A and B are shown apart, each in its own frame.
Chain A
């Protein structure tokens, strides 16, 4: 199976790899896995007081498509509002990276990670 140029680019030069402080109140962390392939993906967002995502980081152990999907997701997340982030669909990732059908689950994983990070952030806000 051939990877698209965009997947290879994200794989070779992943954007925003790393971690944010998961205990910080303005940071939301989503961690999801695809047990069929033993993939695990962590995606974190840092949100300012206006609900804007000021930073996003990821760490993914998985195939090229999973890495590219999460790398692309962090690129899209940075600078966007948390509400717009919630609207990101895996199909947009599939389209942007030209993922073949067998790799669609990688984009689903990225969407799930975004949702989990937002949920974590929101639950932290409610605690206060």
Chain B
């Protein structure tokens, strides 16, 4: 989970050099090379985003964890609904304060997610990842209110 960004970047570059179609096409079968190259690109995109990275790690550690932990407790869901309501009803003057509070909540999720993964608490990590989605969605919704499209 804590692989530094530049190391990820470097490994991606190595892998993409190895699998680059221009380079590898001469060898073996061309479609397999292209597929491999596309896989490397997808993996890099996923790993660059910490949430998707966490998702990949959880799924690898325990493929059924995310599905098994999908039922969130009613108390949390009630809070999630209140948060969504606050975003929907906020006055423009309240936007920046609300943004700060949701962002710090989101950062705390990421921190707890990192510790859970570091300590191999996969079930806890799955719950945290699920819960964090409500926070991230609230931020996106708030963004939409701050900068309405059209």
Interface residues in chain A, defined as those with a beta carbon under 8 Å from any beta carbon in chain B: 31-33, 35-38, 40, 42, 59, 61, 116
Q: How many residues on B have C-beta within 8 angstroms of the other chain's C-beta atoms?
A: 16
Establish whether residues A61 and B84, one from each chain, have CB atoms under 8 Å apart when the complex forms. yes
CB distance from A111 to the nearest CB of B (A): 14
Answer whether A38 and B77 are a contact pair too, CB < 8 Å, given A33-B72, A61-B84.
no
- B130 proximal to A (CB < 8 A): yes
Are B81 and A35 neighbours in the complex by a CB distance under 8 Å?
Answer: no
Q: Say whether chain B's binding surface is mostly helix, strand, loop, or mixed.
A: helix
A99–B61 Cα distance when bound, in Å, is: 34
B74 at the interface (CB under 8 A from A): yes
* Known A31-B74, A33-B72: A38·B81 in contact at CB below 8 Å: no
Decide: A40 near B133, CB < 8 A? Known: A35-B70, A35-B72, A61-B84.
no
Cα(A117)–Cα(B81), bound, Å: 16
Known: A40-B84, A61-B84. A32 touches B77 (CB 8 A): yes
Nearest A residue to B88 via CB reads A61
Closest A residue by C-beta to B138: A38
Q: Which residues of A contact B137 (CB under 8 A)?
A: 37-38
Residues of A within 8 Å of B80, CB to CB, are 33, 38, 40, 61
Q: Are A61 and B133 in contact (CB under 8 A)?
A: no
- Docked complex Cα distance between A38 and B80 (Å): 9
Chain A positions within 8 Å of B77 at CB level = 31-33, 40, 42
On whether the beta carbons of A35 and B131 are closer than 8 Å, the reply is yes
Select one of B84, B85, B88, B130 contacting A35, CB under 8 A: B130
- In the A-B complex, list the 10 residue pairs whose CB atoms are closest, starting with the nearest: A38-B137, A35-B130, A61-B84, A38-B133, A31-B77, A33-B77, A40-B81, A40-B80, A31-B74, A38-B134
In the complex, B23 has a CB within 8 A of chain A: no
Contacts A37-B133, A40-B77 aside, 10 further interface pairs with beta carbons under 8 A come to A31-B74, A31-B81, A33-B80, A33-B134, A38-B133, A40-B80, A40-B84, A42-B78, A61-B85, A61-B88
